[in-house]
């Protein structure tokens, strides 16, 4: 039964203005005008700040005589300290908006700086729980322009930022509808120099978003449709984007697959992300890589609940056999082709993360979107399967 949703009742929103296409970073000054920003804080990460793509974007701002300053003190998994530093830079520079330029970490911290610019309460009071977002003063939220430079997180079309809480080492999702960027510039030319490994890992993150959204039990047919097409784009283009990074068509298709994955996951995520979040928090593992490693174990574990959905996906992707097993086989083959390890052990994660990781996975917000909600004992088994390669 494909249409077995948890409920036929939901709130939906899809509103992001995206300027998509090669070379469109040239429209950054026009996007600032459209977003009502006169004095942006340009937020990026320390790896990007020295690269030509940042230099080119800043030269475009200079040519348009836009006053700005740059903030790039962001960790791979953004922390509360990063946020505090960013807010200090925002206030010191008298800024009135943010350009969030980069991959997931730069976009998450940039969006959260803009959100926190005028709030009186501490950031974790706005964690994505119940209606905590209504605690925020909407007038204190600065406008955001998002410019993705990786194809995976899709944070440019999302209304949240993920910040690690130092008090319990968990990643917390900070959510508010006005964290949705006013304008997105999605320029595939910014992604052509991404190393093959990062292209593969971030691309697998995009796949995990669409795949978990497709499998989640929540009612959101618009997201379901987007998830399917997002996965087709990954299947048809990720191997090319990894093998030939300069291929602008493959880079374009992966950039849109990334945005589509993030739109799709309004429908929910699942155990891949519930496992990946604590693994990254506890061991610093790359988010997309971790999702890619755990992906087939989660699919196999969930298979009784998603057999028909996976078979429908196999038909859409035109996989040999057109069954649920075909999807697992395809994921395994894709991982091999992209050079992604088969076990968590191979990426430096062993049983020492248990039982903390299993307990944290149960509590992770993504667990609620898994086809069957799991408890810590289930996650303990799943982690052991993924550590030891037991499919």
Give the residues lining the site for Fe ion (CB under 5 A).
205
Q: Which residue do the tokens 């550590």 mark?
A: 387
> Min. distance of Cβ 288 from Fe ion in angstroms?
7
Residue nearest to Fe ion (CB): 205
Closer residue to Fe ion (CB): 89 or 264 = 264
Closer residue to Fe ion (CB): 45 or 205 = 205
Distance CA 139, CA 367 (A): 32
Distance CA 145, CA 57 (A): 13
Distance CA 223, CA 169 (A): 31
> Min. distance of Cβ 152 from Fe ion in angstroms?
7
Closer residue to Fe ion (CB): 103 or 143 = 103
Apex 324 CA angle, 318 and 326, nearest 5: 50
Q: 183-186 and 144-148 as β-strands: parallel, antiparallel, unpaired?
A: parallel
Closer residue to Fe ion (CB): 71 or 201 = 201
CB 302 within 8 A of CB 270: yes
CB 158 within 8 A of CB 213: no
- Residue 361 has, within 13 A of its CA and on its CB side, a CA count of 29
> Min. distance of Cβ 273 from Fe ion in angstroms?
6
> Min. distance of Cβ 205 from Fe ion in angstroms?
4
Closer residue to Fe ion (CB): 96 or 205 = 205
Q: Taking the alpha carbons of 179, 182, 187, 188 in that order, is the dihedral positive or negative?
A: positive
> Min. distance of Cβ 184 from Fe ion in angstroms?
18
Q: 28-35 and 52-63 are packed helices; what angle lies between their axes, rounded to 10 degrees?
A: 60
CB 99 within 8 A of CB 58: no
Closer residue to Fe ion (CB): 68 or 201 = 201
For residue 120, how many other CB atoms are within 10 A of its CB? 9
Q: Would you state the structure tokens that stand for residue 206, as one six-digit string? A: 């995009």
For the chain, how many residues are written?
391
> Min. distance of Cβ 269 from Fe ion in angstroms?
7
Which uninterrupted H or E stretch holds 291?
helix 287-316
Q: Which of 302, 312, 138 has its CA nearest to residue 221?
A: 312
> Min. distance of Cβ 275 from Fe ion in angstroms?
11
Q: Which residue do the tokens 């690269």 mark?
A: 51
> Min. distance of Cβ 295 from Fe ion in angstroms?
11
Closer residue to Fe ion (CB): 176 or 277 = 277
Closer residue to Fe ion (CB): 143 or 181 = 181
Which DSSP category does 141 fall into?
A: P
Closer residue to Fe ion (CB): 276 or 302 = 276
> Min. distance of Cβ 359 from Fe ion in angstroms?
21
């Amino acid at each position: 039964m494909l249409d077995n949703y948890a409920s036929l009742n939901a709130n939906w929103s899809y509103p992001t203005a995206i300027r998509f296409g090669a070379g469109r970073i040239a429209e950054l000054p026009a996007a600032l005008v459209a977003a009502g920003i006169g004095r942006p804080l340009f937020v990026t990460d320390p790896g990007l700040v020295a690269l030509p793509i940042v230099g080119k974007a800043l030269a475009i701002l200079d040519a348009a005589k836009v006053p700005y300053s740059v903030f790039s003190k962001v960790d791979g998994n953004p922390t509360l300290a990063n946020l505090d530093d960013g807010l200090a830079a925002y206030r010191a520079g008298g800024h009135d908006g943010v350009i969030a330029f980069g991959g997931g970490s730069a976009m998450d911290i940039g969006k959260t700086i803009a959100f926190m610019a005028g709030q009186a309460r501490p950031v974790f009071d706005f964690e994505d729980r119940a209606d905590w977002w209504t605690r925020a003063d909407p007038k204190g939220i600065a406008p955001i322009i998002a410019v993705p430079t990786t194809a995976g997180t899709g944070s440019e079309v999302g209304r949240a930022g993920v910040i690690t809480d130092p008090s319990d080492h968990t990643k917390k999702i900070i959510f508010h509808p006005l964290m949705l960027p006013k304008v997105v510039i999605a320029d595939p030319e910014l992604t052509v120099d991404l190393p093959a490994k990062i292209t593969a890992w971030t691309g697998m993150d995009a796949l995990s978003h669409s795949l978990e959204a497709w499998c989640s039990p929540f009612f959101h047919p618009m997201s379901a449709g987007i998830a399917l097409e997002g996965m087709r784009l990954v299947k048809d283009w990720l191997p090319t984007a990894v093998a030939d990074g300069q291929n602008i068509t493959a880079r374009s298709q992966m950039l849109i697959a990334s945005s589509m994955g993030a739109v799709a996951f309004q429908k929910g995520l699942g155990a891949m992300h519930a496992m990946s979040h604590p693994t990254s928090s506890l061991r610093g593992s790359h988010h997309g890589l971790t999702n890619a490693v755990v992906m087939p174990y989660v699919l196999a574990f969930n298979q009784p609940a998603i057999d028909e959905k996976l078979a429908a996906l196999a038909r859409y992707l035109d996989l040999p056999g057109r069954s649920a097993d075909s999807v697992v086989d395809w994921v395994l083959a894709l991982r091999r082709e992209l050079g992604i390890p088969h076990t968590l052990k191979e990426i430096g994660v062993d049983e020492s993360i248990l039982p903390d990781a299993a307990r944290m996975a149960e509590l992770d917000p993504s667990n609620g979107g898994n086809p069957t909600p799991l408890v810590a004992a289930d996650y303990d088994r799943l982690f052991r399967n993924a550590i030891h390669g037991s499919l």
